[in-house]
Amino acid sequence: MKQYPSNSKEVAIIGAGLVGCLAALNLAKLGYLVTIFEYRSDPRTIQDHQNLRSINLAISERGIAALQNIDLDLSKRILDQIVPMKGRLIHSAPNSSRSITYAQNYGVNGIECINSIDRNLLNIKLLNEIDTVPTIFAQFNRKLVNLIFPNEDQNDNANPILYFQSTTNQDSSSQNNILKRHDNFNFLIGADGSYSTTRSLLQKHIRMDFKQEYIDMAYLELFISSNPTHNTDSNSRFKLDKNYLHIWPRENFMLIALPNYDGSFTSTFFAPWHIMNSLNSNEEIISFFQTNFPDVLNSNLISQESLLNFFNSNPKSSLICTICNPYNYKGKCLLIGDAAHSMVPFYGQGMNCGFEDVRILSNLIIKNQFDIHDAFEEYTESRHRDLISILQLAKDNYKEMSSNVNSSIHLLSKRLDNGLSKILGDYWLPLYTMVSFRSDISYSQAIKINKRQYRILSTLQLSLLSFSVYFALKYSKPLLNFFNKK
């Protein structure tokens, strides 16, 4: 049993997902006594990992910087099984005029990488770190069900009162399921995901703007197993090139695959609901994949049998965007991660942004000399514009992934963008670089810089086009005359 020192402030964190765990580690480092409450069971005790969301994530600079902000060695331990991906490998549509596969690097120099990591593994590694910190106490099977701020108008110092219900099977039918009351926490952090209970409860106390939107897109998880080989060469375990995020873009639907450390790939099929729902017989599923992704079936990346198995047993999930404002109630409660902002996954930034929330909060607590009220107020004040920026970028990036990657004009302007960056260095940074590889540039700054660069790039492209037309007109007539005379 962990023993707490008795003189520090106590914090409750709701949700032991990725962001809640990181927040626990960071606040403990700042000297707080942390209790983290999780609705589900400890994932380390669950035998059947099929029941967990096993989607893998791309962690990039903002997420890594937040881990390093806690401790460099911790970040190395957490990230020791990542698979770096230096770009996208596009798998063309059948009968396309392009080559079957072609690569597009993420960075200007071709060496910048985002990194694939299994979500469950990352969560488990963070929980293992929590176990080593004597001032963090994790309580599983505890669901936040009520939150009261006593004497709201008169007493700013009163602790919030939290009520939890047990979610274990044994407890649910017995007296143990009765609400557990806690009033020992000085403040709480809501990191309980897109459908946050903390957020709903907070809305009763503050005039919170809140918006939620389901986009017309469903996703289904598939799996590409590793090569059944005894070869010790680690590369041969992968059926696809492991250094890329693989995309099969097909305009309004797509398939992606991210490498796992063990040689397998986690693949996700994204499609509008009417397409997803139309694939409801084995014949339709096979015929759809045979028509649109023949290489996946023909080269046995996924066997027909496995494909049908995935379609018939894995959930078809929806994609939700949420945003709220403000994120805090005085110095008593703050929302972070998906509880405050959930975005579509097309920029690979949801968790990275949640991790960045933790780093920014930690810096504000230090800046405000541990005055939590001021730190929370400044957080809400300064963070909102960045959060709405990344939500918009994430939405826009669906078009980039599913169709722009195929467009010659788009690719040409990308080349120009990268070329200028190579020449001008930090004076010219492509948007993707600013978002994924630069934690020192905020999301809103990235959009602002990109708008300015876009105007310059458009003028440059227009000038190039005008010059080409001018020279074509000027020299084509004499040339035509010359050939006509001959």
Instruction: Specify the 3-state DSSP secondary structure of 234.
Output: helix
Does 58 bind ligand FAD (CB under 6 A)? Our answer is yes
Q: Could you tell me the two tokens for 25? A: 């580690």
Q: Of the ranges 4-12, 50-58, 403-411, 467-475, which one interacts with ligand FAD (CB under 6 A)? A: 50-58
Do 326 and 143 meet the contact criterion of CB atoms below 8 Å apart? no
Does 18 bind ligand FAD (CB under 6 A)? Our answer is yes
User: Residue 404, exposed/middle/buried by CB under 10 A (0-12, 13-18, 19+)?
Assistant: middle
Other beta carbons within 10 angstroms of residue 181's beta carbon come to: 12
Specify the residue, 146 or 282, whose C-beta has the smaller distance to ligand FAD: 146
Count of positions on this chain that bind ligand FAD (CB under 6 A): 32
Shortest approach of ligand FAD to residue 156 CB, angstroms?
A: 26
Q: Which residue has the tokens 């919030």?
A: 160
Does 263 bind ligand FAD (CB under 6 A)? Our answer is no
Applying CB under 6 A, among 17, 259, 263, 326 the residue interacting with ligand FAD is: 17
Does 338 bind ligand FAD (CB under 6 A)? Our answer is yes
Shortest approach of ligand FAD to residue 358 CB, angstroms?
A: 10
List binders of ligand FAD among 200-239 (CB under 6 A).
219
Specify the residue, 23 or 108, whose C-beta has the smaller distance to ligand FAD: 23
**DSSP E strand boundaries for 272-365:** 317-325, 328-329, 333-335, 341-342
Taking alpha carbons only, the member of 377, 368, 384 closest to residue 329 is 377
Does 349 bind ligand FAD (CB under 6 A)? Our answer is yes
Cα dihedral value 402, 404, 407, 409, nearest 10: 180
Q: Residue 237: what are its φ and ψ, rounded to 5°? A: -75, -20
Shortest approach of ligand FAD to residue 13 CB, angstroms?
A: 9
Q: At what angle do helices 18-29 and 350-367 cross, to 10 degrees?
A: 20
Q: Of the ranges 37-45, 75-83, 126-134, 153-161, which one interacts with ligand FAD (CB under 6 A)? A: 37-45
Beta bridge partners of 248: 255
Specify the residue, 140 or 428, whose C-beta has the smaller distance to ligand FAD: 140
Shortest approach of ligand FAD to residue 202 CB, angstroms?
A: 12
Does 410 bind ligand FAD (CB under 6 A)? Our answer is no
Shortest approach of ligand FAD to residue 267 CB, angstroms?
A: 11
* Per-residue exposure over 88-101, b if at least 16 CB sit within 10 Å of its own CB, e if not: bbbbbbeeeeeeee
Specify the residue, 193 or 331, whose C-beta has the smaller distance to ligand FAD: 193
Applying CB under 6 A, among 38, 118, 129, 356 the residue interacting with ligand FAD is: 38
Specify the residue, 420 or 446, whose C-beta has the smaller distance to ligand FAD: 446
Applying CB under 6 A, among 11, 12, 13, 14 the residue interacting with ligand FAD is: 14
Taking alpha carbons only, the member of 338, 382, 339, 329 closest to residue 360 is 382
Shortest approach of ligand FAD to residue 87 CB, angstroms?
A: 15
Does 259 bind ligand FAD (CB under 6 A)? Our answer is no
Q: Of the ranges 92-100, 287-295, 334-342, 417-425, which one interacts with ligand FAD (CB under 6 A)? A: 334-342
Taking alpha carbons only, the member of 392, 385, 88, 351 closest to residue 194 is 351
Q: Of the ranges 80-88, 89-97, 336-344, 434-442, which one interacts with ligand FAD (CB under 6 A)? A: 336-344
Q: At what angle do helices 282-292 and 304-313 cross, to 10 degrees?
A: 120
Q: Could you tell me the two tokens for 101? A: 């596969």
Residue closest to ligand FAD, measured at CB: 17
Applying CB under 6 A, among 32, 39, 185, 437 the residue interacting with ligand FAD is: 39
Between the two ends of the chain, the Cα-to-Cα distance in Å is 97
Applying CB under 6 A, among 34, 324, 351, 394 the residue interacting with ligand FAD is: 351
Shortest approach of ligand FAD to residue 348 CB, angstroms?
A: 4
Q: Of the ranges 131-139, 180-188, 346-354, 410-418, which one interacts with ligand FAD (CB under 6 A)? A: 346-354
Does 397 bind ligand FAD (CB under 6 A)? Our answer is no
Q: Which residue has the tokens 């080409």?
A: 468
Report d(CA 260, CA 229) in Å as an integer.
16
Does 106 bind ligand FAD (CB under 6 A)? Our answer is no
Q: Which amino acid is at 88?
A: R
Q: How many CA atoms lie within 13 A of 111 on its CB side?
A: 1
Does 27 bind ligand FAD (CB under 6 A)? Our answer is no
List binders of ligand FAD among 132-161 (CB under 6 A).
143-144
Applying CB under 6 A, among 11, 12, 13, 19 the residue interacting with ligand FAD is: 19
Does 193 bind ligand FAD (CB under 6 A)? Our answer is yes
Do 84 and 243 meet the contact criterion of CB atoms below 8 Å apart? yes
Instruction: Specify the 3-state DSSP secondary structure of 143.
Output: strand
DSSP summary character for residue 50: G
User: Residue 157, exposed/middle/buried by CB under 10 A (0-12, 13-18, 19+)?
Assistant: exposed
Report d(CA 269, CA 201) in Å as an integer.
35
Specify the residue, 40 or 410, whose C-beta has the smaller distance to ligand FAD: 40
Interface residues with ligand FAD (CB under 6 A) are: 14-20, 37-40, 55, 57-58, 143-144, 191-193, 197, 219, 268, 337-339, 345, 348-352, 354
